[in-house]
């Protein structure tokens, strides 16, 4: 005569139940996008303006020439296939203040300056010495020299990509990019493209 199999011990039942709960949580955290299930824990870097993470209402550029014939910050943060130029105004320095809608992890900055404007009031050249800060929302020209940058970049002419490494680039709400000097020691600085690359900083 066969005896019925005894039930599993409580510890085994708990393990099975925890595994099931974990699987259910994973499925619940999957987001549907384009007909495919996307796992939000996968960190895929992208241009943060293109992903909608940049708050353009709070994003600005100090000392940019605001005349309509010159590009504004929102234009050079897009692909800018027409090579419009953003140029500085009073002198060669610029401070880009980029604010995010949610906290992000930054991985890279791209700056392109290969199409100089032809009809500027003064001579322009591409950025050379660039300093990057994070979460310095009130940064301006009066105190930028007192702050320690997270990165110092010596740019080359054309397109320059810089990896952003370290804790200062994790879970940031804003990034500040200070163009301190340009390639030709000219009165004005120009650029055609600025891209900040990273991904949303997920909780947990």
Give the pLDDT of residue 121.
85
115 in Cβ contact with 192 (< 8 Å): yes
Query: What 3-state class would DSSP assign to 79?
Result: coil
- Buried b / exposed e across 26-35, counting CB within 10 Å, b at 16+? eeeeeeeeee
Give the pLDDT of residue 34.
43
Q: What is the mean pLDDT of residues 140-169?
A: 95
Give the pLDDT of residue 31.
44
> Does 198 score more than 50 pLDDT?
yes
The conformation of residue 190, written as its DSSP 8-state character, comes to E
Q: How many angstroms separate the first and last alpha carbons of the chain?
A: 54
Which two three-digit tokens encode residue 29?
Answer: 């955290």
Q: List the one residue out of 200, 203, 182 whose CA is nearest residue 191.
A: 182
Look up tokens 């692909």; give the residue.
Answer: 79
Count other C-beta atoms under 10 Å from residue 50's C-beta. Answer: 13
Give the pLDDT of residue 184.
95
- C-alpha distance from residue 168 to each of 116, 132, 144, 148, 202 (Å): 33, 10, 17, 11, 16
Which two three-digit tokens encode residue 69?
Answer: 């014939």
pTM score:
0.79
Q: What is the mean pLDDT of residues 127-132?
A: 98
d(CA 132, CA 109): 9
Give the pLDDT of residue 202.
85
The residue count for the chain: 204
Give the pLDDT of residue 4.
58
Q: Could you give the count of Cα atoms lying within 13 Å of 25 in the half-sphere of its Cβ?
A: 7
């Amino acid at each position: 005569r066969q005896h019925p199999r005894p039930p599993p011990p409580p510890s085994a039942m708990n393990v099975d139940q925890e595994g099931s709960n974990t699987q259910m949580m994973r499925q619940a955290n999957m987001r549907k996008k384009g007909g495919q299930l996307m796992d939000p824990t996968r960190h895929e870097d992208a241009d943060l303006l293109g992903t909608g993470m940049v708050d353009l209402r709070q994003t600005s550029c100090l000392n940019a020439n605001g005349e309509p014939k010159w590009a504004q910050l929102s234009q050079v943060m897009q692909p800018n296939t027409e090579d419009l130029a953003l140029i500085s105004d009073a002198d060669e320095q610029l401070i880009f203040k980029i604010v995010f809608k949610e906290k992000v992890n930054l991985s890279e900055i791209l700056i392109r300056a290969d199409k100089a404007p032809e009809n500027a009031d003064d001579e322009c050249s591409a950025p050379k010495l660039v300093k990057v800060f994070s979460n310095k929302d009130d940064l301006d020209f009066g105190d930028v020299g007192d702050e320690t940058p997270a990165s110092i970049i010596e740019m080359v002419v054309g397109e320059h990509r810089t990896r952003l490494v370290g804790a200062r680039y994790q879970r940031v709400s804003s990034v500040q990019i200070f163009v301190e000097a340009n390639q030709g020691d000219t009165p004005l600085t120009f650029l055609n493209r600025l891209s900040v690359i990273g991904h949303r900083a997920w909780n947990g």
